[in-house]
Structure 1
Amino acid sequence: MTTTFPRSSPSALGIDASGIDALVRALEAAPGVEPHGLMVLRHGQVAAEGWWTPYSADRPHLLYSLSKSFTAAAVGIASREGIVDLDSTVVSHFPELDAEVTDARSRSMTLRNILAMSSGHREETLDRARAIDPTDIVRGFLLLPPDEDPGTVFAYNQPCTYTLAEIVRRASGTSLVAYLRPRLFDPLGIEQVSWKQDEHGKELGFSGCYATTESIAKLGQLYLQRGVWDGERILDEDWVEAATRTQVANPGEENPDWSQGYGYQFWMARHGFRGDGAYGQFCVVLPEHDVVVAMTGQSTDMQAVLDAVWEHLLPAIDRDGPADTVDLSALALRPVPGGRLGLEARGTYARASRSGVPGLESVVLEQDGERWVVTLHQDGSAVRAVVGEDEWAVDGSTAAGAATDDDGRVLVAVRFVDTPHLLWVRLDAGDRTFAARWATEPLHDTVATLHRPTAD
């Protein structure tokens, strides 16, 4: 059983190493882009890999909507096992709702429709579904009549994927992670996976999966290999073919790589296809080049990330270069700039009116021996993080740094390193107040829950 990819070099795999170096430099320089992890595979081998300190190869990262592609794999496996029929109607899997769901379009919606985000709704339905039924997303979704016939329009729609996850749970009689463990994760050697659950103990499906960069690469490689891994068929070839071609057009999407069509929880792109998640989680598959690119990050300009791949990596494939390899072992995110902390910074800080993080009530900065420690109090919960100076101090699920500005205020940065997110806190020792802001705002977490759940 293959649990890790063979390591090679760019030149041995027919890639000009300077192209990978240029890609890394472009990612680091682009406004709105912050890379955390990168793997480039060709012919099933690692051409290059690197993680920006304080992120690391062995740490799972919140994937946000890249989770959808793992959920889709569960549907593909369930279809292969014959426990779900892709042409069955969605409502047929929820017989308790049969009498309530009377709209003809809702009743005709199939699994293929919701796999392709073509439920017939013109817009995202999550908030409206929750308004109809705050405790049952599927019921709220099915009671919200589609605007058009299913299969005719695209709308990125979280309840589509949540419903797919629930169908797999019902058909298999177990959780999504437990179903995937012997069927996908173990065969591919994916060890560390956990998934955020809702109030009913069910995986979100559309988000909330935590996995390593290499796990992302393995999912991409499985699809590149048409569903076969080490001679074992995991996904049917016709499933892979359907999942990775356009099932519904989406020309109305703003960015060019989001308007090339949508498959089964995969985006078509100007080159190949991909799964992706908010703030720069990517699984890019380029079948014509036998290449997979896996990335994690905290990026607000996701199109810029793909533009960099197309501009720098693509031309380097099948191109000779002067260097055999590229050294990505010393990548790092810049520590918090400024001076050392003084003893006057110690103490408890109250929320200033301009603080932009609701519920963050107080911040305590103190010394614990020779270490600085910050404690964040939000909505009755506390998160404690060791703070580094001129470095990131990694402590469990946080990596924090601090420095003193020229104006005497202290700037503290807390990275929640299981996720893309960074919290900036500015402490004013003069009036003992703080102001805080997110670099990127969490989509379904608070300070206290910004860490991966207990693994399966």
Structure 2
Amino acid sequence: MKFNEEHGRAYLAKLRSLGIETRSIVVMQKGSLAFSHTAKPFSLEFVHPLYSVTKSFTSVAVGMLKKEGKLGLDEPWIAWFPEYKGAVADHLFLEVSIRHLLTMTLGQDKEPYVHNDDDWAMGVVGKEFAHKPGTVFFYNSMCSHLLSMLVQRVSGQKLSAFLSQRLFEPLGIKRWWWEEDRRGHSIGGYGLHLSTIDLARFGQCLLDGGYWKGKEVIPPAWVEDATRLQMQTQPFYPAESTEDRNGYGYQFWMCAGGGFRCSGLFGQLCYVRSKDSLVVACSSSTSGSKALLDPLYEVLDDEKSMNGVLPTADLTSLPLVDGAAHAGMSERRLVGRHNCLRNFGNFETVELKFFNAESPCACLTLTRDKQAFKVKAGYGRWLENTTGSAFVGELFPFATHSAEEDTRPSWTVAETFACYGWISPTTLEFSLRELDSTRCTFIRISVDGTYAVCELWAEGVLGGLSPTKYTIAAKL
């Protein structure tokens, strides 16, 4: 099939009808751009977290070292790290090979929470095993991180520096950054930040067998081995409702619709299907790959499924708050600074202002612990804020790691975009998005008698690691 603009818009319409927030999509076919889409306030070039898509990049680095004869897949990981032998809690760890890490068959049945630890490897080395290595699939990001440590030990370079020279530069990828653990290892399981257009370049290189513009970048034999079935995953994912039950390669997933994919949390995706010479790279904010792939399979494999789904809504922007710009009496009562009653989040005051300059906008200020969080929101448009992201991050941290040193480069800007609307005569809602996060933050303020009730909640964060909702009452 030939992918065209109509296919792309039908795919977007299907995703929008499912309530999936798609920020950017790039479709390559036969090496050429077939379709691209971005929704305000985002762009194809914005650098965003790939989460577990990172694992596939880690795999590529291992493959490069293997081709150079610097490591073998059946070598024990511990052979490269003898300093950990004395800390091994289960003798089975001594049998864990590089291949076992690549296929997620380590043998443990729990992923340790290591993000506040100084030495992440100890979270694996010091744990008991449930299975013999190589026998049972269990998805564990620490497998990928041990591989990152291995790349650094074997090559003498951090994984990020190793791939900068050997992968990113040849592909023309210039804007990216990589998070690190406290000991300076690139996080092998989820630390890479990259744009959607550059993720599509990576996918195209894989589709072409490791070649880019006629030159070998990734060893072709590694592309073949890493992207084919190496381990069954059905025992781990028995339900029909998951795309992850189709098998695993070397840090790549097999797909129900054919081909393979790199997948990251909250809808980060690079899907490669060789039978159509197709690469689909996507950044979104949703749960699981199945929600993105099922509509794509329909568009690719069933032309009839496109009937009646062409978009009627504006897809050039993420959904804005659907409401009025003003609310008369309720708006007048909310204007000003109000003291908060005692609350779980220790918020002290909430302040609201409304402006009618070139177009309506609202300004919300929340204070706690001598910090002030201000956000300006546009009505019917996303308004840019260059401050505020840090505060939102403190309220709803993704909580993936606690790096000793921030590896974010100086060219990145922590920008927040916001819009607002009165969704009822007494209820005001703000919607916030951040350029370098999948987090979607919402603030809803309702006038209830002599009080204002303010609710703050977030989507696109890991529940259980931090609060995902706050409720505050303030006296009017």
Q: 1:263 maps to which residue?
A: 249
Alignment partners' CA distance in 2, 1:40 and 1:260 = 23
Out of 182-191 and 391-400, give the one that drifted further.
Answer: 391-400
Q: 1:102 to 1:302 in 2, by over 3 A?
A: closer
Paired amino acid for 2:179: K
Q: 2:295 maps to which residue?
A: 308
Q: 1:369 to 1:126 in 2, by over 3 A?
A: farther
Q: 1:201 to 1:376 in 2, by over 3 A?
A: farther
Q: 1:386 maps to which residue?
A: 376
Q: 2:206 maps to which residue?
A: 223
Alignment partners' CA distance in 2, 1:351 and 1:395 = 25
Give 1:385 deviation, angstroms.
Answer: 3.3
Paired amino acid for 2:436: D
Is it true that 1:277 corresponds to 2:267 in the alignment? no
Give 1:361 deviation, angstroms.
Answer: 6.6
Alignment partners' CA distance in 2, 1:233 and 1:350 = 63
Q: Using CA pairs under 8 Å that are at least 6 residues apart, name the structure with larger relative contact order, 1 or 2.
A: 1
Is it true that 1:24 corresponds to 2:44 in the alignment? no
Contact 1:283–1:293 (CA under 8 A) maintained in structure 2: yes
Out of 288-297 and 99-108, give the one that drifted further.
Answer: 99-108
CA RMSD of aligned residues (A): 3.2
Is it true that 1:440 corresponds to 2:464 in the alignment? no
Alignment of 1:25-44 (within 5 A): 25-31=13-19, 33-44=20-31
Alignment partners' CA distance in 2, 1:19 and 1:212 = 22
Alignment partners' CA distance in 2, 1:40 and 1:328 = 21
Give 1:63 deviation, angstroms.
Answer: 1.4
Give 1:138 deviation, angstroms.
Answer: 0.7
- 1:157-189 deviation digits (Å, cap 9, x = unpaired): 011111111222222333322221111111111
Q: 1:335 to 1:431 in 2, by over 3 A?
A: same
Paired amino acid for 1:275: C
Q: 1:403 to 1:77 in 2, by over 3 A?
A: same
Alignment partners' CA distance in 1, 2:383 and 2:60 = 37
Is it true that 1:15 corresponds to 2:3 in the alignment? yes
Alignment partners' CA distance in 1, 2:371 and 2:193 = 23
Contact 1:91–1:142 (CA under 8 A) maintained in structure 2: no
Q: 1:446 to 1:57 in 2, by over 3 A?
A: farther
Contact 2:15–2:295 (CA under 8 A) maintained in structure 1: yes
Is it true that 1:418 corresponds to 2:436 in the alignment? yes
| Secondary structure of residue in 2 paired with 1:126 | coil
Alignment partners' CA distance in 2, 1:279 and 1:188 = 26
Is it true that 1:297 corresponds to 2:297 in the alignment? no
Paired amino acid for 1:438: A
Alignment partners' CA distance in 2, 1:363 and 1:349 = 5
Alignment partners' CA distance in 2, 1:361 and 1:170 = 49
Give 1:245 deviation, angstroms.
Answer: 1.1
Which residue among 317, 325, 337 is the counterpart of 2:322?
337
Contact 2:243–2:289 (CA under 8 A) maintained in structure 1: no
- 1:212-238 deviation digits (Å, cap 9, x = unpaired): 111111111111111111222222122
Q: 1:152 to 1:443 in 2, by over 3 A?
A: same
Q: 1:219 to 1:209 in 2, by over 3 A?
A: same
Q: 1:351 to 1:68 in 2, by over 3 A?
A: farther
Give 1:92 deviation, angstroms.
Answer: 1.6
Q: 1:174 to 1:372 in 2, by over 3 A?
A: farther
Q: 1:7 maps to which residue?
A: none
Q: 2:150 maps to which residue?
A: 167
Across the two proteins, how many residue pairs are aligned to each other? 423
Q: 1:247 to 1:334 in 2, by over 3 A?
A: same
Alignment partners' CA distance in 2, 1:268 and 1:96 = 36
Q: 1:328 to 1:152 in 2, by over 3 A?
A: farther
Give 1:442 deviation, angstroms.
Answer: 4.7
Give 1:376 deviation, angstroms.
Answer: 5.2
Q: 1:47 maps to which residue?
A: 34
- 1:77-119 deviation digits (Å, cap 9, x = unpaired): 2333444433221112222112232633210101111111111
Q: 1:296 to 1:382 in 2, by over 3 A?
A: farther
| Secondary structure of residue in 2 paired with 1:137 | coil
Which residue among 177, 183, 186 is the counterpart of 1:194?
177
Q: 1:378 to 1:86 in 2, by over 3 A?
A: farther
Give 1:441 deviation, angstroms.
Answer: 2.1
Alignment of 1:105-254 (within 5 A): 105-121=92-108, 123-127=109-113, 134-252=117-235, 253=237, 254=239
| Secondary structure of residue in 2 paired with 1:312 | helix
Contact 2:200–2:280 (CA under 8 A) maintained in structure 1: yes
Give 1:364 deviation, angstroms.
Answer: 4.4
Contact 2:29–2:278 (CA under 8 A) maintained in structure 1: yes
Alignment partners' CA distance in 2, 1:48 and 1:369 = 38
| Secondary structure of residue in 2 paired with 1:219 | helix
What are structure 1's unaligned runs of at least 5 residues? 1-12, 448-456
Q: 1:265 to 1:375 in 2, by over 3 A?
A: farther
Contact 1:426–1:436 (CA under 8 A) maintained in structure 2: yes
Out of 219-228 and 435-444, give the one that drifted further.
Answer: 435-444
Paired amino acid for 2:110: E
Out of 79-88 and 271-280, give the one that drifted further.
Answer: 79-88
Q: 1:3 maps to which residue?
A: none
Alignment partners' CA distance in 1, 2:295 and 2:445 = 37
Percentage identity across paired residues of the two chains: 28
Alignment partners' CA distance in 1, 2:370 and 2:146 = 33
Give 1:392 deviation, angstroms.
Answer: 0.9
| Secondary structure of residue in 2 paired with 1:413 | strand
Q: 1:384 to 1:208 in 2, by over 3 A?
A: farther
Give 1:303 deviation, angstroms.
Answer: 1.4
Alignment partners' CA distance in 2, 1:273 and 1:378 = 47
- 1:139-174 deviation digits (Å, cap 9, x = unpaired): 220221321121111011011111111222222333
